[in-house]
A = this chain, B = another copy of it.
Amino acid sequence: MNGAESLIRTLVDAGVDHCFANPGTSEMHLVQAIDGTTGMRPVLCLFEGVCSGAADGYGRMTGRPAATLLHLGAGFGNATANLHNARRAGSPIINLVGDHARHHVAFDAPLTSDIEGIARPFSAWVRTSRSAMGLARDGADAVTAAMTPHPVSTGQIATLAIPVDCAWGEGSGPVAVPQPQRPATVSGDRIEVVARQLDAKTLIMLDGSGLSAAGQMAAARVAAATGCQVMAVTFPARTEQGPGLPPLARLPYFPEQVIKTLAGVRRIVLAGAEAPVSFFAYPTTPSDLVPNDCDVLRLALLQEDVVGALEDLATAVGAPVHPPQLNAVQRPEGITGALDTRKAAAVIAATLPEQAIVAVDSGGGGAAAVPCQTAAPHTWLNLTGGAIGMGAPLAAGAALACPDRPVLALLGDGGAMYTNQAFWTQAREGLKVGTVIFSNRQYKILEHEYRRLGVNEVGGRAASLFDIGGPDIDWPALAGSMGVPGSRVDTAEGLAAAIERGFESDGPFLIEAMI
């Protein structure tokens, strides 16, 4: 058994069952191993940013790593933006990157690249295999690394560069991977310290598993007993939402909004979250958004047992068994007329299928988060790292992870262009993914930020960089060119009908919503 087959069998035995792939010549032995091994589903993506974004979606929904299969430094480079997002999401991913044979590197052939150098800023673990006999062991170590809780994430990105001679040489056979570590339990002392500080001027901030249903329920019980507030971070990787869960606000985006929200808060308790900071720096607002007279207490790190800590905290404060207030079903009704972002969000809440997974990129879709809380139970996946182009690949990965659940991607037109190749994979795999493009034919956020500089007159050269119309992108035609049926709507009733019709089919669909 060669190194490649030893590696792939190792991964399959450890539960790595999906590989988002765009291979090249140096990966052919790995393709051969996947071809000959049952248990790993290869999913072709026509651009590597789709591979990494899909692996992120898969990891967020299963808690297990998918593999990517990438072609040297250039292929890894194409994957980096969504790896940046995945790193911020705490998703476990194993990147398999083919490299030249070890004896070939010194010849500096055209594709020669510093894979470790490129991978390091995006990976918690990087290794280049040194022998065919050791390749399966390297793969096992990659699984362990991907599943290791990390100071700033729950999973990690592990990147294994595989010189082709390590793939084609005689290997070890499969290697067993130890069970992953469980999240550490938070000490009773820490619970006690926090329990004494909870009052109406305290805000518990949730992230990570704190935003699971169990985490939110425990936090709401604490709030009921102590009068404290509870909020989610601005860009959580994954949140459960819907009827039967407590209402949950999110920290806003712009620093002046955050400052206003936190005015009067004297203590922030971090439950899987980090203290709030400004997304970008501005000349007139601070980076650190914790009020001057506010203490910050750590209940649980993201990689610790956040749910257990919140439940222990509820017990310590003598909280009621059930939160007093839960979201009731209240779907918006009778929304009609010309679309805008607010109406589109209401229509999405009105039509959201039960148990949907919602994947959001930049640009408008986030507006649906609040109305959807009273729609149907669903999972919400957010843009985490600020690198646009995450939503469509993320939706594909989530759909493969949860084939019984409908997926709704809410994408800005600017971000969706970045990784439009994801629509092809959605069609190829027959995924139940609906996409709503919030189409305003602008990088709207940029014009907004530009005016925040104090600019009143936007000149022609600047305007040309914010305007993505001229030519207007025809989204139904673009999606249709890759096998995804599309339509365009400009009214609320049209959007509602298109979403309902779309989810009657089992495959992907796209709606360009003119806002």
Contacts and interface: CB of A to CB of B under 8 A. Distances in A.
**Count class of interface residues, chain A:** 35 or more
Q: Count this chain's copies in the assembly.
A: 2
Contacts of A483: 471-472
Interface stretch (A154-162, A337-345, A418-426): A418-426
A77 B81 contact: yes
A389 B78 CA distance: 10
Interface string A96-118: 00001101100111110110011
A258 B84 CA distance: 41
A28 interface: yes
Contacts of A113: 84, 121
A465 B414 contact: no
Interface in A30-73: 31-32, 34-36, 41-42, 44, 46-47, 49, 73
Interface stretch (A180-188, A302-310, A402-410, A445-453): A445-453
A402 to B, nearest CB: 21
Contacts of A80: 73-74, 77-78, 80, 118
Contacts of A101: 281, 287
A281 B105 CA distance: 9
A164 to B, nearest CB: 6
Contacts of A387: 74-75, 77, 111
Contacts of A460: 35
A330 B338 CA distance: 61
A474 interface: yes
A274 to B, nearest CB: 8
A325 interface: no
A108 B478 CA distance: 37
Interface stretch (A17-25, A142-150, A265-273): A17-25
A374 interface: no
A121 B111 contact: no
Given A78-B418, A121-B117, A417-B421, A471 B428 contact: yes
Given A24-B446, A450-B28, A475-B481, A109 B278 contact: yes
A455 B152 CA distance: 45
Given A77-B81, A420-B420, A480-B474, A32 B103 contact: no
A312 interface: no
B477 A417 contact: no
A110 B386 contact: yes
A171 interface: no
A179 B385 CA distance: 41
A418 B47 contact: yes
B471 A427 contact: yes
A109 B277 contact: yes
Interface string A387-406: 10100000000000000000
A482 interface: yes
Contact of A459 (B35, B75, B235): B35
A112 to B, nearest CB: 9
Nearest to A445: B25
A263 interface: no
A280 B481 contact: no
A480 B482 contact: no
Given A77-B387, A473-B482, A477-B481, 14 more contacts: A23-B465, A28-B453, A31-B446, A47-B417, A47-B418, A80-B118, A101-B281, A103-B281, A103-B287, A107-B278, A107-B287, A107-B288, A111-B385, A474-B480
Interface of A: 21, 23-26, 28-29, 31-32, 34-36, 41-42, 44, 46-47, 49, 73-75, 77-78, 80-81, 84-85, 88, 100-101, 103-104, 107-111, 113-114, 117-118, 120-122, 152, 164-165, 168, 235, 274, 277-281, 283, 287-288, 384-387, 389, 414, 417-418, 420-421, 424, 427-428, 445-446, 449-450, 453, 455, 458-462, 464-465, 467-468, 470-475, 477-478, 480-483
Q: Would you list the 6 A-B pairs with minimal beta carbon distance, nearest first?
A: A471-B483, A77-B80, A74-B387, A101-B281, A104-B281, A35-B462
11 contacts: A25-B449, A32-B453, A49-B78, A74-B80, A77-B122, A78-B80, A100-B281, A103-B281, A104-B278, A107-B278, A165-B281
